[in-house]
Amino acid sequence: MKVFPYSVIKKTQLNALRLQLSQHQQQIIGATKFVKAIEQGNLDVQYDNIDQDNDEHSLASSLVSMRNQMKKFSSEERQRNWATEGLARFADILRSKNDSLSDLSNQIISHLVKYMDANQGALYIIDEEDSKNIALELVACYAYDRQKHLNQRFALGEGIIGQVVMEKSTTYLKTIPRDYIRITSGLGQGLPRNLLIVPLKIEENVLGVVEIASFKEVKQYQIEFVEKLGESIASTISAVKVSERTKKLLHESQVQAEQMRSQEEEMRQSMEELAATQEEMQRILKEVQSQEGYLNEVLNASKDSIFTVDRNFSIISFNKAFATGVEAMGAIPRKGLDILSVFQQGPQRDIQRTYYTRGLAGETFNITESFDMGGRTTYFVTTYSPLRDEQGNVFATACFAKDVTEMMNARHEAEKLAHDAQQVNEEMKEQEEELRQNMEELSATQEEMQRVLTEVQSKEQYLNEILNASADSIFTLDRDYKIVSFNKAFGVGLEAMGLSIGKGFEMLSIFQQDAKQQAQQRSYYDRALKGEVFQVTDAFDMNGVQSHYINLYSPIRNDKGEVNAIACFAKDITELVNARNEAKEKELYLSNMLNATDDAILTVDKTLHVVMANHVMIKTFRAQGIAMDVGFHITELAKNEAVEEFVMPYKKALGGEVVEMTRDYFDHHYLITYNPLRDLSGEITGVSLFTKDITTQVNLQKQTEKLLAESQQQSEELQAQQEELRQNMEELAATQDEMSRQMNETARISRELEVREGVFSLTTILSEADEHGTITLVNDKLCKVSGYTRDELIGKPHSIFRHPDMPKELFKIFWSTIKKGEAFKGIIKNRAKDGSHYWVDATIVPVKDADGKIVKYIGARYHFEDDEIATILYNRQAAKLKLPELTNVYIKKHQA
């Protein structure tokens, strides 16, 4: 044991210790000053009195190295924040300006040039309208002079821009050709030093290029930002081009559909008129056939030979008397028989040919002829008369041959007797005989005429009975427009108008109050009197009630083929027209209602055949080469999907269930609702589909998730850097009392912040979403805090509030919790419309129906007005849930 508790050292050694202690004190003072400057955010501070002779492991070197590392991290963080903020800003532009490609392009290039602090910019898009002349077309530029607009198209591979498209890679030039571009301002013009050309591509498909010219150097992080932004621009341009092309096709489809509907209506009316005409023709045909049978009976009752011959001298028709005569001449009578073959070759056949030719030429004449029939000479008086068609053309000749053999024989006998008697007696007898024969013939003719008149009157009575049995109005007019005959229906109709008519009534007097209608009716009568058969549809106002008729006008000809009257058949179609008009109005109303929506709508029957599709549905499938017409079987859309699985929602709907699901068609995402269709008795007759295109929402959600993942990765890198910095600070604190004191002060501030948790200001925010997360209701406070209007939020996915700083894992926990039917409570950083953020203490409660199915979610949020407290509370939550923490810059500020 030492008696003296102190050690004796040399003075020089003491001085050395004092000097070393003084140096350590100076180092501590310098280090403390240096660290405080860094804490205050001054990363450019210089370390005073640094000893250049010390090794790299000294305190000063460590602090300077720490400062340089923090400066590097700060610069990288600013670059990341710049890129992230730029992507968020352009996401708003791409989302809100996607109605017009021209407006979108101008917004993109002007904001991009300003954001990059460049001088000029241009946006080119590939024009593929002409597959043989694909080129880059200038669609927007910023700060270019007028000369730039003279060349707006570049072929692929032409110039630097065309080469970028071919190589599909970014080009950055620091040396620009002198004549390529100039930057002009009010003070002059100059040649830019830097040119950046970035292709706008989706995967390997290039849609265009963006060109940026600047006096300043373009940093690598700026180039990466433009490349990443180019993918979003390309995706949006592709969607806008598809949208514009779709609108164009929709307009063309609507025009074609309107034309088709007009043509279909005209065709349908024509078919209805044709059907009515066919019915009328069938009725007339039956009457003609009946009349023809009657006439045949009349002709066969005559003892005169009657036959008709066409222009080829072939027999068209004949009666029994003619057939008997031909058989007597050794020929077999039949239709189509060459009438000249009945006569022997020679003069007689030539004479007969002349007679028929005269008749076919339009001449009517009488000839007395004699024929050898079975060894007996027979005499005939033959009348040749032409037959004309409706146009007045001669198509045949009719021959009426009266047998006058007895008369001729008697005449020959009289001549023989007169030859033996005296000349005077012979002449008197001849005259007497001739007079007697004339009297007999006259008597016979009168009897025949009486018989024919009786038959005609009987036939007229028969026809009148038939006409009166018809519900249609039938009447005939002479050339003076006066009534010749009419049926009961016509008389009753005019009596209802207060008119009493009879034969000789002037028909045009009915329309004397309406000169225009009277002129119209006169034109109809004149057309028929000129020989035209036609049908028109007319409307008449009878005692304030409008009636509709189909009128058939037909000429009536005399035996010479001249039109001497007309017949009119009027059918009342008022009920049919009213029903058709009512059906058209209902059909038009329903069609306009279904075509007014942007959703695609389709209905199918129980057999899954298409009954109706609106314009949006037809246009969507026609764009893919599929004709979605009536009768189309819906299973043809199954393609690679199992048919049974494809038709399952249809079967559920046919069973009375309402089904909602999402499907992908033609690179688009659709939300489809299947609803059962019922008739008036409540029986299910088919299924209706309401299809909503949610491609934009899905793509936006994917893009947001991608940005969140990138942000998460950056956050993890930043946390690793923070951890390294924390370790350096702990090492520094372990060796320096001053640093230890500062850490204690930080702990004290943290405890004070915990105490302040119960006293911060909160704002209640309410919202409601359906089972898919689509916003259906918001309150005014949510709109005020987020910056959105109600119209901008209703119908949007709830992810519109998602901030890229928030870890993706938190939202997985959020959705898994509420999908299980449990309430979720947590601290969340939301993104406002202007890109800023705000913190909320959110409570999301699922709402269930009577069957326990989740039908919507109600969210109550408390807005933190103090970001410091919100950040601390979130980091505590992250620690409990094992999620990444966020950098709390506010704690560092309080430490300072």
The pLDDT assigned to 646 comes to: 82
* Domain closes at, from 549, 567, 585: 567
Radius of gyration, CA atoms only, the chain: 54
Is residue 689 scored above 80 in pLDDT? yes
The pLDDT assigned to 104 comes to: 84
Could you tell me which residue, 31 or 350, shows the higher pLDDT? 350
The pLDDT assigned to 421 comes to: 52
- Is 124 in the same domain as 232? yes
Q: How far apart are CA 451 and CA 446, in angstroms?
A: 9
Q: What is the mean pLDDT of residues 712-734?
A: 65
DSSP character string of 669-714: EEEEEEEEEE-TTS-EEEEEEEEEE-HHHHHHHHHHHHHHHHHHHH
Residue 43, helix vs strand vs coil: coil
Is residue 293 scored above 50 in pLDDT? yes
The pLDDT assigned to 787 comes to: 92
- Both tokens of 192, joined, read 């830019």
Is residue 41 scored above 60 in pLDDT? yes
One-letter amino acid identity for 687?
Answer: V
Residue % of the chain over a pLDDT of 70: 75
For residue 889, is it within any domain?
yes
Confidence band of 49 (pLDDT split at 50, 70, 90): low
The pLDDT assigned to 53 comes to: 44
Q: How far apart are CA 245 and CA 251, in angstroms?
A: 10
For residue 66, is it within any domain?
no
β-pair partners for 184: 189
The pLDDT assigned to 748 comes to: 43
pLDDT tens, position by position, 317-335: 888 888 888 888 778 888 8
DSSP strand E in 487-618: where? 534-542, 545-557, 563-572, 600-605, 610-613
- Is 742 in the same domain as 866? yes
Segment among 70-74, 139-143, 591-595, 762-766 with least mean pLDDT: 762-766
For residue 39, is it within any domain?
no
- Is 456 in the same domain as 375? no
For residue 278, is it within any domain?
no
Mean pLDDT of the residues in the chain? 77
For residue 210, is it within any domain?
yes
Is residue 209 scored above 80 in pLDDT? yes
The pLDDT assigned to 310 comes to: 92
* Domain closes at, from 437, 468, 499: 468
- Is 823 in the same domain as 879? yes
- Both tokens of 44, joined, read 């450019």
Segment among 363-367, 370-374, 488-492, 890-894 with least mean pLDDT: 890-894
The CATH number that applies at residue 670 is 3.30.450.20
For residue 73, is it within any domain?
no
Is residue 233 scored above 50 in pLDDT? yes
Residue 887, helix vs strand vs coil: coil
Q: What is the mean pLDDT of residues 249-275?
A: 81
- Is 810 in the same domain as 878? yes
Confidence band of 544 (pLDDT split at 50, 70, 90): low
Q: What is the mean pLDDT of residues 162-191?
A: 68
Domain span holding position 678: 597-693
Confidence band of 752 (pLDDT split at 50, 70, 90): very low
In 3D space, the residue among 390, 400, 387 whose CA is nearest the CA of residue 360 turns out to be: 387
Q: What is the mean pLDDT of residues 153-165?
A: 82
Q: What is the mean pLDDT of residues 62-91?
A: 78
The H or E element spanning position 663 is strand 659-665
For residue 56, is it within any domain?
no
DSSP character string of 748-766: HHHHHHHHGGGGS-EEEEE
The pLDDT assigned to 210 comes to: 92
The pLDDT assigned to 292 comes to: 63
Q: For 209, list phi and psi in degrees, rounded to 5.
A: -140, 155
Confidence band of 855 (pLDDT split at 50, 70, 90): confident
Is residue 186 scored above 50 in pLDDT? no
Q: What is the mean pLDDT of residues 656-684?
A: 83
Is residue 545 scored above 70 in pLDDT? no
Q: How far apart are CA 143 and CA 183, in angstroms?
A: 8
Segment among 179-193, 358-372, 763-777, 795-809 with least mean pLDDT: 179-193
Q: What is the mean pLDDT of residues 452-469?
A: 66
The pLDDT assigned to 36 comes to: 73
Q: How far apart are CA 687 and CA 652, in angstroms?
A: 10
* Domain closes at, from 250, 284, 314: 250
- Is 734 in the same domain as 813? yes
Q: What is the mean pLDDT of residues 35-54?
A: 65
Q: What is the mean pLDDT of residues 136-164?
A: 73
Confidence band of 602 (pLDDT split at 50, 70, 90): confident
- Is 871 in the same domain as 885? yes
Whether 483 contacts 505, CB under 8 Å: yes
- Is 864 in the same domain as 788? yes
The pLDDT assigned to 314 comes to: 92
Q: Which of 38-42, 95-99, 560-564 has the highest mean pLDDT?
A: 560-564
Could you tell me which residue, 425 or 363, shows the higher pLDDT? 363
Is residue 840 scored above 80 in pLDDT? yes
- Is 436 in the same domain as 511? no
For residue 43, is it within any domain?
no
The pLDDT assigned to 514 comes to: 79
Number of domains in the chain: 6
Q: How far apart are CA 673 and CA 662, in angstroms?
A: 9
Whether 356 contacts 339, CB under 8 Å: yes
Q: How far apart are CA 33 and CA 216, in angstroms?
A: 37
In 3D space, the residue among 159, 199, 162 whose CA is nearest the CA of residue 176 turns out to be: 159
Q: How many CB atoms lie within 10 A of CB 202?
A: 15
- Both tokens of 757, joined, read 């948790």
- Is 735 in the same domain as 674? no
Is residue 299 scored above 60 in pLDDT? yes
The pLDDT assigned to 789 comes to: 92
Tokens 């919790």 correspond to what residue? 817
Residue % of the chain over a pLDDT of 90: 3
Is residue 13 scored above 50 in pLDDT? yes
Residue 403, helix vs strand vs coil: strand
The pLDDT assigned to 55 comes to: 45
The CATH number that applies at residue 167 is 3.30.450.40
Q: CA–CA distance from 340 to each of 27, 312, 333, 625, 743 (Å)?
A: 148, 10, 12, 67, 139
DSSP character string of 280-293: HHHHHHHHHHHHHH
Q: How far apart are CA 779 and CA 336, in angstroms?
A: 96
Q: What is the mean pLDDT of residues 157-162?
A: 82
One-letter amino acid identity for 214?
Answer: S
Contacts of 699 (CB under 8 A, 6+ apart): 235, 239
Is residue 384 scored above 60 in pLDDT? yes
Q: How far apart are CA 48 and CA 125, in angstroms?
A: 57
Is residue 822 scored above 80 in pLDDT? yes
The pLDDT assigned to 762 comes to: 40
Answer left, alpha or beta for residue 782, where phi above 0 means left and psi between -120 and 50 means alpha.
Answer: alpha
Q: How far apart are CA 409 and CA 406, in angstroms?
A: 5
- Both tokens of 352, joined, read 């007969």
- Is 474 in the same domain as 463? no
- Is 784 in the same domain as 874? yes
